[in-house]
Structures are given as structure tokens and as C-alpha cells.
Amino acid sequence: MGARSGPQGTGPQEKVCGKADEMNWRKRSGQAARACVQLLFPLRCPVCDDIVSPFGEKICLDCMRKLRYVAPPRCLKCGKHIEEEGREYCHDCAKGRHRFTRGRSLYEYESVAKSIYRFKYGGRREYADFYGEEVARYLGGFLKQAHPAGILPIPLHARRLRKRGYNQAELLADAIGRYMGLPVYRKIVERVRDTTPMKLLNPQERQNNLKKAFHIVGNDVKLGERLPCVLLVDDIYTTGTTMDEVAGTLLDAGVKEVYFVTLASGRGL
């Protein structure tokens, strides 16, 4: 079980070769199709926003070095980097108030702040694929351990969604779902109150701002059976107020465990 398939020196070689040829052909034709699309619509780099160099990559090789991943030691609850060695939890999580089980973020916020801004407000939907692949590559082990039955993006209020045209958390959730082979559920939680942007509020105001802001769609009494464990996806984790509100809403509806991943984490955003 779990053994890697590889050339073992036995078995019907012709058949294996035939399959390998077919797979190579499919791979090559897929690459050719992608190259044609990229010639017509060249991909922009998620870091510098220029056309990606070298052609065919998802990010410039030079820009790759500018991304700063959240380094260990990390908080066992929210996944933020901890300055002092020997601590298991950050100051915030040591108070033990979070409702989610555990979460991780991929980058330190400062290194991707402009990119996330363009991804969110500047129409750069194409960044989602690169970011989804990055989450799968670097946080795949965490996700497999969490073993969620499905992914839920943090929803936008309908009014804001109409104005912006898309929800960046949904695009990211879709990409992560593709790379991790997990289903994405966009219509389980909805945001029923159009709240003040969190960056304008202090921690207490943030909590009050989100009271009863989320709601389970319909009356799914078997939600906990269908989705005992879920993964929430958002672009940024700061104080965790949003994650707690959505996690609380899901736990109250019967879900047993709620994990999260975000692109970036930072303080005082």
C-alpha cells in the first residue's frame, strides 16, 4: 500500500510503453495547448505583475526568491511564526479563544501584500493557479493530516461580490481543490451582513462587526455527517476573527472540525 509505481523489471513491457507513450503524448499536447493560450494571453507574474519570464513559467525565476514563507517555529494553533524559541503558541492563541481546530498560512504578508491587493481588487484572477499550486506543494502535508472532506472559501457579501465581480477566496479554494483533489463547496456558508472592512477596526470592533455575519444556507441537518471536517480558505489571516466566526457557524451546525489555510498571515493589517 502506498508503494510508488516504477520500473520493477517485470511485467508486460509493451503495454507499459504504450501507456507511457500515450501519457507523454497527452502531456505534450496539453503543454502545447497551454503554450498557445499563453501566447495569446501571456501570464502575468504574481510578484512583479510583468509578463512572466521565462515564458511558460507561472512566476519569474527572480521573483520566486522574493516570496517569504512563514518559517518555523510556528504557532500550533494559527500557524503564525513565533519569535521566541520554545513556545508552542503565539500570544494570541495562548489565550485559547479560537474556535477553529488549526490553520496554516503560506507567506509572510509583507512579501505578497501588493500581489494580494491585485489578486483581490485588480482583476488578477490568474494568480490563483500559481497560489493554489504553492499551497498544495508547501502545505500539502498539513492538509493531508487534517484530512478535510471538503473546502469552503470564506464568502463575500452578495453586494460586494457584484461590485468586485469575483471572490478571490473562491478562486484560491478552486485551485487548491484541483491540486489536492478535494471538492469545493461555495454555497454552504453565506455572508448575510455586509460588514465594515476589518483593516479599519480594532480587535474588539472586529469581533462585534462580524456577529451573526455568516449563515448556513438552507437547513442542512446532516451537514455534520456529510462534512465532519472542513477546510476554510481565505487570502489573509490576521487576528482570526473571520475564521472564528465562520468556524463557530459551522460547528453550531454540526461540523466537528474546522481547519484553515490562507495565502498570508500578518499582524495589524
Q: CB 103 → Zn ion: shortest distance, Å?
A: 9
* Coil/strand/helix, residue 187: coil
Q: CB 252 → Zn ion: shortest distance, Å?
A: 23
Q: How many CA atoms lie within 13 A of 135 on its CB side?
A: 32
Q: Which is nearer to Zn ion, 63 or 136 (CB)?
A: 63
Q: CB 123 → Zn ion: shortest distance, Å?
A: 18
| Interface with Zn ion, residue 75, by CB under 5 A | yes
Q: CB 74 → Zn ion: shortest distance, Å?
A: 8
Q: CB 265 → Zn ion: shortest distance, Å?
A: 9
Q: Which is nearer to Zn ion, 93 or 255 (CB)?
A: 93
d(C-alpha 57, C-alpha 34), whole Å: 11
Q: Which is nearer to Zn ion, 185 or 260 (CB)?
A: 260
d(C-alpha 242, C-alpha 247), whole Å: 8
Ordered alpha helix ranges (H), 89-199? 91-94, 109-121, 127-146, 158-164, 168-180
Of 61-69, 105-113, 146-154, 178-186, the window that binds Zn ion (rule: CB under 5 A) is: 61-69
| Interface with Zn ion, residue 48, by CB under 5 A | yes
Residue 134 C-alpha from the chain's centroid: 9
Q: Which is nearer to Zn ion, 4 or 95 (CB)?
A: 95
Q: Which is nearer to Zn ion, 116 or 182 (CB)?
A: 116
| Interface with Zn ion, residue 136, by CB under 5 A | no
Q: Which is nearer to Zn ion, 45 or 176 (CB)?
A: 45
How many CB atoms lie under 10 A from the CB of residue 124? 18
Q: Tell me 199's DSSP state.
A: G
d(C-alpha 180, C-alpha 236), whole Å: 20
| Interface with Zn ion, residue 90, by CB under 5 A | yes
| Interface with Zn ion, residue 93, by CB under 5 A | yes
Q: Which is nearer to Zn ion, 53 or 160 (CB)?
A: 53
CB contact at 8 A, 259 and 246: no
CB contact at 8 A, 71 and 229: no
| Interface with Zn ion, residue 63, by CB under 5 A | yes
Q: How many residues bind Zn ion (CB under 5 A)?
A: 10
Q: CB 199 → Zn ion: shortest distance, Å?
A: 19
Is the bond preceding residue 73 a cis peptide, omega within 30 degrees? yes
Residue by residue, DSSP assigns 107-121 as EEHHHHHHHHHHHHH
Of 23-31, 67-75, 165-173, 223-231, the window that binds Zn ion (rule: CB under 5 A) is: 67-75
Q: Based on the number of CB atoms within 10 Å of its own CB, is 55 exposed (0-12), middle (13-18) or buried (19 or more)?
A: exposed
Which residues bind to Zn ion, rule: CB under 5 A? 45, 47-48, 60, 63, 75, 77-78, 90, 93
